[in-house]
Structure 1
């Protein structure tokens, strides 16, 4: 490489150190025999990119006269068009000041003095080293910032591990409570199984002592029947409130999350006095293993969602229906949309629109009921707050439950895990 090319490299040394990645050029220059395999190994030995660039720029001036031309070609080939254009541009010529009073040609500066030439070269090299070190220091500062961010992330990770440990401890305590409740319920279920051994005759004899039916239709009592109805759905959709309205004809003033509950109500359907045993289930994930125990021998089920929450309907389709069908393949069910009373509340409508939410429309419920093949092929919309639609829902579930009971001839309709 001639002196002019070396000056170009020295002039643009800082820009090359800041922007160049030598690995992008070494293969091309090796292919055209500008760099040897030993040169490539030496360049790759640099621990940082800036140091590899300095090694690369230190090797090039020792090569032949075509090395600058091939370097520019390699830069263009690798996409360093701006750097290549910078090296292609000619150096600015130094202006020579001529003394007007002097008639003889000016004496040339003492550039032939080897000591001065050596000092000048060393000065230029030191300037280049300082510039490259400044660029490297900037890179190290950026790396230090990244390391500090990593340290903050590690601190958050440690905090997360601590929180997870506390959650595991709480989970173990809850599991202990769950096991105790599970054992108690198993005892209750065994007791209920023993009660099933009573004959229909004894049930009819005792029917006179049963309280007055909460809902009475026309016709005298000629038959007595007992059906089981399971309510399934997300927590907070109003399953317990629906049962409360069935029994007391008024809304439930308090909300207590249900774990497991069993209540009964008598209904006159035609000339049949029907006792409906409602099995209320917990919708929380913690009771996924306990809940299926309630499905045994069900004659009908209510899959409940809240019309104020699209998520609860989505969960019926994605979770509750598959779970129910897994344990009760042939048991009919009704799709129930509860909490219709806020649909007439303008304040509630405004709040939901502000949050980007909306009510589940009747046609959406009917479409879901048809997709899930629910009984009656429609969604029963009701309100356990004001009682709207409750009577129609009760009549429908009793009719479907009696039909399924007669069809199965008291055989087990639902296999429990």
Structure 2
């Protein structure tokens, strides 16, 4: 399947896509197979290939983000976190791009993963859980430092995941009781994005689907059109 983003796509989602998708009859094996299938059209050859690497704390919601975007729903609880690599074709301003997605699936601490995947990135998504201010701090320091070790000039999008928790009574109560689970505000996310030199700061919810398309549309555009000069000089952060 090829996704088209016209030239006037402002990287904002004014009319959120309906992400409802019924998979009650799909087995875990079939679901794993669909995860690894390419979203591209086998009859067409992309003109360029780009790589997107998604990093962040274990449990912050990276795999749920990919599952919601690729499959249209959250992964079942009994499904192993098997996202590794898959690709999807886009047409952006008449340019066909095959964007490969790398999810580090809880292997972030292993150096061999970093050394193999990070240098291939054309754009990074540094993710954090909005439900934990500690996760945001790790995005600023731990994960940005890892990017710096390999590809300092690659564009970054800082992504706040689990946006829906701001309206969840249980999460709000936990936030009041434990400092580590303080809910990150949008302003705190923006400030962190500026601090690490991110090209964008975006928020989304894999639970509701809100903001998902915007995240990957922005990533695809950065992967295609960011030149080395832009990666170094144009570090202004927008939301």
Q: TM-score, normalised by structure 2?
A: 0.71
Aligned partner of 1:392 in structure 2 is 214
Query: For 2:4, which of 208, 216, 220 is the aligned residue?
Result: 216
Contact kept, 8 Å, 1:333 with 1:375, in 2: the verdict is yes
Aligned partner of 1:235 in structure 2 is 58
Query: For 2:185, which of 361, 380, 395 is the aligned residue?
Result: 361
For residues 91-131 of structure 1, what are the alpha-carbon distances to aligned partners after superposition, in whole Å with 9 as ceiling and x for unaligned? xxxxxxxxxxxxxxxxxxxxxxxxxxxxxxxxxxxxxxxxx
Contact kept, 8 Å, 1:252 with 1:385, in 2: the verdict is no
Contact kept, 8 Å, 1:251 with 1:387, in 2: the verdict is no
For residues 131-160 of structure 1, what are the alpha-carbon distances to aligned partners after superposition, in whole Å with 9 as ceiling and x for unaligned? xxxxxxxxxxxxxxxxxxxxxxxxxxxxxx
Contact kept, 8 Å, 2:55 with 2:108, in 1: the verdict is no
Contact kept, 8 Å, 1:246 with 1:265, in 2: the verdict is no
CA distance in 2, matches of 1:293, 1:227: 15
Gaps of 5+ in 2: 8-43, 229-239
Query: For 2:74, which of 251, 256, 266 is the aligned residue?
Result: 251
What SS does the corresponding residue of 1:308 show, helix, strand or coil?
A: coil
Deviation of the 1:267 alpha carbon: 2.3
Deviation of the 1:288 alpha carbon: 3.1
For residues 306-350 of structure 1, what are the alpha-carbon distances to aligned partners after superposition, in whole Å with 9 as ceiling and x for unaligned? 001111111122211011111112111111110111211223312
Contact kept, 8 Å, 2:131 with 2:171, in 1: the verdict is no
Contact kept, 8 Å, 2:54 with 2:124, in 1: the verdict is yes
Query: For 1:292, which of 100, 115, 122 is the aligned residue?
Result: 115
CA distance in 2, matches of 1:265, 1:332: 19
Deviation of the 1:266 alpha carbon: 2.0
CA distance in 2, matches of 1:267, 1:341: 28
Deviation of the 1:229 alpha carbon: 0.3
What SS does the corresponding residue of 2:147 show, helix, strand or coil?
A: helix
Deviation of the 1:285 alpha carbon: 6.3
Contact kept, 8 Å, 1:303 with 1:336, in 2: the verdict is yes
Aligned partner of 2:198 in structure 1 is 374
Matches within 5 A, 1:76-95: none
How many residues align structurally?
190
Give yes or no for the alignment of 1:348 onto 2:171. yes
Query: For 2:145, which of 303, 312, 322 is the aligned residue?
Result: 322
Alignment root-mean-square deviation, CA: 2.5
Gaps of 5+ in 1: 1-211, 409-417
Q: Which protein is bigger by CA-based radius of gyration?
A: 1
CA distance in 1, matches of 2:63, 2:135: 16
CA distance in 1, matches of 2:108, 2:89: 32
CA distance in 1, matches of 2:127, 2:81: 15
Query: Which structure is higher in RCO with an 8 Å CA cutoff and minimum separation 6?
Result: 2
Contact kept, 8 Å, 1:233 with 1:305, in 2: the verdict is yes
Measured at CA, do residues 321 and 218 of structure 1 come closer, stay the same or move farther in structure 2, by a change above 3 Å? closer
